[in-house]
Structure 1
């Protein structure tokens, strides 16, 4: 999984380019993030249409605000510059819930 460097919203759009990208917002101190993190490689492998990108919430706090991401772990999907879906809240997420969210995007 790629790790997003610190950037603002316009830099993010440039970074995404024409790719389908799934942003995974997380932080090392977050217990619910640590819960989902071990299964992220499997989720990533099951969804090759997306480039998965780890976004450190603390490093990119301004970007989180610009994208209205106030709870972690959270997921925001883009197809090029267009946001196509979000699974954003502060609740713990299971592998099944994340996969269901992604399945709805590609259906």
Structure 2
């Protein structure tokens, strides 16, 4: 999604959870429903030994819990098959505000 999509109100279309892994991730983030956000951290994350550059967001809730959303990729797998290294890859989060109906409303 680019800034043109965001300004037009377009948002990513969620097509479901296609595997046990994505279902587990969904259940993890659903634990945030009903919680109150107290603080937010956002920015570049410290490199973890030969990994790609990335960003993350951490949502801190009033009950003392926190949910971090980080980037995962297959950069290491790609580097084995191509002439690049994981640090050659850069990923980022792209936050957008839109008016969007809640799921199942």
Higher helix share: 1
Common fold: TM-score over 0.5:
no
Q: Which has the higher contact order (CA 8 A, sep 6+)?
A: 1
What range describes the TM-score normalised by the shorter chain of this pair?
Answer: under 0.3
Higher strand share: 1
TM-score, normalised to structure 1, is 0.24
TM-score, normalised to structure 2, is 0.24
